[in-house]
Amino acid sequence: MMNWLRKNYSFVVVCTIFLLVKFFLLDTYFFWDSLVILSRPATYLYENGLTALPFPQELGVAPTFLHFYTALVWTLFGRTSLVTHLSFLPFVLLLLFQIYKLCNRFVGKDFLLMTFLFVVSDPTFVAQTLGLYADLFLMAFAICSINNILENNRLRLIVSLFLLAAVGERGMLMAIALTILYFFIEFRKEHNFLFSLRSTFYVFLPTFFCLISFVAYQKITTGYLLLDNSENSDWGMHWRLVNFRQFMKNCLALGFRFVEYGRLFLWITFVYLLIKVRKKAIEPFLFSAYCIIFVVLLVATLPWYNPFGMRYFLLLYLLFALNLARSISISLSKKKAKTLLFALVLLLSCSHFYVYPERLSQSWDSSLAHLPYFDLRRQTIDFLKENNVPFSEVGVSFPLTEKHKLTDFSDENGEFSNYDFKQNRWIIYTNIGNLDTPTIDLIRRQTLVKRFEKCGVFFELYRVEQPKKE
């Protein structure tokens, strides 16, 4: 055991850092999209029995491995923040180990520690890994699948692809993308189209069969496939084709997602190396994987109204970072390469401290900048209780719209109301909500009662001024 630890000290060092940070975040709870795609369905299974399927229409999600796993853990050990974090921990370690294996394959021993640290320093990766997010599981099974492709371990690949697809809709997309990647790798190796196609078919068959079975079950029992896209559904607008103007907006948003949080400097470094060493700056397998996943994600994002966050492209960020680290290691001297990688790690880490101006939307679940939210939310709720303000009279925006028990594991059934200035007597405004300018201006015309602020994140409580009766 000690021998293995000494041999893999890079893995030990990085894991230790992650576990230490994780220790200080054990009291955090569900946030942002994890409220909708994880807490809601998992809580439903927990409260109604693990076999209470299909999900009610209002949940709008497909039953997945993750929901069942989370509900099962709660049933066995209790529904608490600590239990949930500890149940996610094995998958954190699995993900880190799989990334370590991938790094070890493409860089030499001298650069392994810095490369590994650099790849996992991506702000979105850190936030999604240390919090309670579904993308932790998606990334773990996706990187497992990539390693299994590289090792040509078909049995493990079958299992990892199946689990990847079972995480959710984007997991299904990733499973399809990685199956295509496997086909190209097989074809490049065998130079036989039919043989490669047959090999790929056998690998993907269990996943394909289960997906088709589930989709059919969903259609029969609910009337829709994966999501309800009817006019009455909250999800309906998300899966409608965009017009040209919105398509261009999606393109701009996509470009912005790839340069946010310090990633612009990674691209500048890559372009410099591309000019300096040309083909050496690109590793063929990583490039192929990147391109295939990128195309699949383009098809799933650009033509639709569905808003997409940074976490959608997390696998691409990691593959790009690994390719960049490899290019740096073979293009620069040992000292210069390590210095540059360390500088990039610091640059990415600093992104956690940056909060956008309040009128500019921020992907709050893509960095640790949102951490003050948990304490500020509790302070605001305590203030309301102390002053006997009914939650039903308080208007809020997402992510405060969910029931309290779905958010913070409390036993409270209380929940706030959605913004309605004709009905709300009180308003909670936080920059976490990414509100539009007209709504912010309307809120600011009300009477400010209390403000809580920490590290650039704030909560403001307003009393709504009711129009005077004539």
What pLDDT sits at residue 431? 96
Provide mean pLDDT across the span 22-44. Answer: 94
- Per cent of the chain over pLDDT 70 is 95
Q: How far is CA 49 from CA 52, 72, 205, in A?
A: 5, 9, 30
Provide mean pLDDT across the span 226-252. Answer: 74
Q: Return the minimum-mean-pLDDT range out of 51-55, 274-278, 391-395, 423-427.
A: 51-55
457 forms beta bridges with 454
- Cβ atoms of 429 and 435 closer than 8 Å: yes
The answer to whether residue 299 scores a pLDDT higher than 60 is yes
Listing DSSP states for 408-420 in one string gives H--S----PEEP-
Q: Which two tokens stand for residue 265?
A: 């400097």
What pLDDT sits at residue 218? 73
What pLDDT sits at residue 63? 64
For residues 37-49, one letter each, b for 16 or more C-beta atoms within 10 angstroms of the residue's C-beta and e for the rest, the string is bbbbbbbbbbeee
Q: What is the pLDDT of residues 328-376, one digit of tens each?
A: 999 999 999 999 999 999 999 999 999 999 999 999 999 999 999 999 9
Provide mean pLDDT across the span 241-247. Answer: 88
Rg (CA), the chain: 24
Q: What does pLDDT average to over the chain?
A: 91
What pLDDT sits at residue 470? 45
Which residues have CB under 8 Å from 435's CB, separation 6+?
A: 397, 429, 443
Q: Return the minimum-mean-pLDDT range out of 49-53, 90-94, 110-114, 236-240.
A: 236-240
Q: What is the pLDDT of residues 161-206, one digit of tens each?
A: 999 999 988 998 999 999 999 999 999 888 888 888 888 988 998 8
What pLDDT sits at residue 221? 73
The answer to whether residue 207 scores a pLDDT higher than 50 is yes
Given the DSSP bridges, would you call strands 417-418 and 426-430 parallel, antiparallel or unpaired?
unpaired
- Cβ atoms of 292 and 256 closer than 8 Å: no
- Cβ atoms of 341 and 349 closer than 8 Å: no
Give the Cα separation of 155 and 147 in Å (integer). Answer: 12
The answer to whether residue 235 scores a pLDDT higher than 70 is no
Provide mean pLDDT across the span 122-151. Answer: 97
Given the DSSP bridges, would you call strands 426-430 and 457-463 parallel, antiparallel or unpaired?
antiparallel
Q: Give 226's pLDDT tier (boundaries 50, 70, 90).
A: low
The answer to whether residue 449 scores a pLDDT higher than 60 is yes
452 forms beta bridges with 459
